[in-house]
Structure 1
């Protein structure tokens, strides 16, 4: 079952899948949409080169521009919408379009659910499907309310899983999220901890201390990881040359970019591309 609605520039839709998700994704280009994918346990997923063999029902939050692959074992529902539909300023920053579940350079946002929680989430999905079949003046706002409810519940699960249970930790998570957003917005221009520290109006030492307080990952590792992720995306999914990719990521010296990539990825850009294409 599938349904799609457009409200001026705002777009929202869904489709159910049963062992045929790769074929359905091939019928339309969904890359520009934000996607929330409900998957039953047993599926196999790859998002930005990270593999998941699902032992529990799960929700994946996939931003526009991310690469993903679902195999034929997957059963569930895919919601998709553009930023105009949901990204409005009045939303609570934790559950906005740039909230905890989106633009997170630390990890791919995925929520694993116990059966009772999965039932609740599937109930929201059922309400969304019922609403999409209606012809009512309040349809757009009701869809947005249900979508926000789904994101709020998923955000609570993420916070509980990551033990965000007091004000000090919440403040540090919010700071890390701000840093994460800055990296997402500027990684093609700014490559050093000092540049991001300046944006945050603190010293590089203070930035390193705050980011590593509740994480094993340093600011420099976060920055380099985001650059390498984009480099891998471009190597795997575009015909751009290594020199063009380096330039696109802010490196005028292609030799330096090749050395950086090889050190971070453990293989040269050309070898990585060949391996991925063969796989």
Structure 2
């Protein structure tokens, strides 16, 4: 089996390092302060925003491959497995930040779970913009980088507020660009976002639609109806897809056995887990692990 997936932490906690921004030109990141190598699929415990000025290459996110377009923004949440393959004429910026840095002043709900492109297994975390809209975001990026490079006692607060403005603008564009496709203007869209946030936090322990409906003060029938209307899938299908995604991650990026993976995901019967996995993917867990590892080794 290949080398297990690496999970990268933010560097040692300082106000400065709880947020970082890098300019990237060409195939590799030249900065010595960047927290990790990027030649193999990996994941982070922090958030990452990839701003592509000149798109050249491919971005693999959780077993889906995406062409990198110019004037685009890709959003990565903690735990997502990804790999950016850049070409020589690539140019862009990377912002990385911890959950605590962004949500320092949030006393109730986590504001990052209100962004449709973060922590959301049902929506693509990619925003391809027209040049005029992208330029508005690029102006913010350049101002953020300017503040970052002249760090002083006020910089953390300034960056936190700039980051909030940047992400809210991205949310505005995301909901505008995908309003019809993802029904972001539907009155139940925020409710489905709440379901996604609960799912991301509890999917290993909670598998039943009834339990999520109870947490949200809804009937299972209504939860299924609202989720299907927005996503095209029932709540039960979304739950199962999230479990199978985590199973794929375990199979490719850990040495856990099929039985151990089943227990990690709260399946008490490993043979039942294997049957469900094969029904959803077309492969047994062992075959999936072998085929995907051969792909990454090449």
TM-score when normalising by structure 1: 0.89
Question: For residue 51 of structure 2, what is the aligned residue in structure 1?
Answer: 38
Count residues with an aligned counterpart.
273
In structure 2, the CA distance between the partners of 1:77 and 1:223, relative to structure 1 (3 Å rule), is same
SS in 2 for 1:179: helix
Partner Cα separation in structure 2 for residue 204 and residue 90 of structure 1: 30
Partner Cα separation in structure 2 for residue 48 and residue 231 of structure 1: 11
Structure 2: stretches of 5+ with no match in the other structure: 1-10
TM-score when normalising by structure 2: 0.83
Question: For residue 233 of structure 2, what is the aligned residue in structure 1?
Answer: 217
Equivalent positions of 1:1-279 (< 5 A) are: 7-8=14-15, 11-21=18-28, 25-26=36-37, 31-39=44-52, 40-73=54-87, 74-88=90-104, 90=106, 96-99=111-114, 100-163=116-179, 169-279=185-295
SS in 2 for 1:199: helix
Q: Is the 8 A contact 1:193 1:220 kept in 2?
A: yes
SS in 2 for 1:102: coil
In structure 2, the CA distance between the partners of 1:245 and 1:5, relative to structure 1 (3 Å rule), is closer
Q: Is the 8 A contact 1:45 1:69 kept in 2?
A: yes
Partner Cα separation in structure 2 for residue 141 and residue 253 of structure 1: 50
In structure 2, the CA distance between the partners of 1:240 and 1:168, relative to structure 1 (3 Å rule), is closer
1:186 to partner: Cα distance: 1.1
SS in 2 for 1:206: helix
Partner Cα separation in structure 1 for residue 108 and residue 95 of structure 2: 21
1:205 to partner: Cα distance: 0.9
* Misfit runs of 4+, over 6 Å: 27-30
1:92 to partner: Cα distance: 10
Question: For residue 7 of structure 2, what is the aligned residue in structure 1?
Answer: none
Q: Is the 8 A contact 1:246 1:252 kept in 2?
A: yes
Query: CA deviation digits over 1:46-93, x for unaligned, max 9?
Result: 111111113442111101111101112243111101111102354997
Give the RMSD, CA atoms, in angstroms.
2.7
Partner Cα separation in structure 1 for residue 147 and residue 292 of structure 2: 42
Q: Is the 8 A contact 1:236 1:273 kept in 2?
A: yes
Moved more, 76-85 or 8-17: 8-17
1:239 to partner: Cα distance: 1.2
RCO (CA 8 Å, sep 6+): is it higher in 1 or 2?
A: 2
In structure 2, the CA distance between the partners of 1:260 and 1:45, relative to structure 1 (3 Å rule), is same
In structure 2, the CA distance between the partners of 1:144 and 1:83, relative to structure 1 (3 Å rule), is same
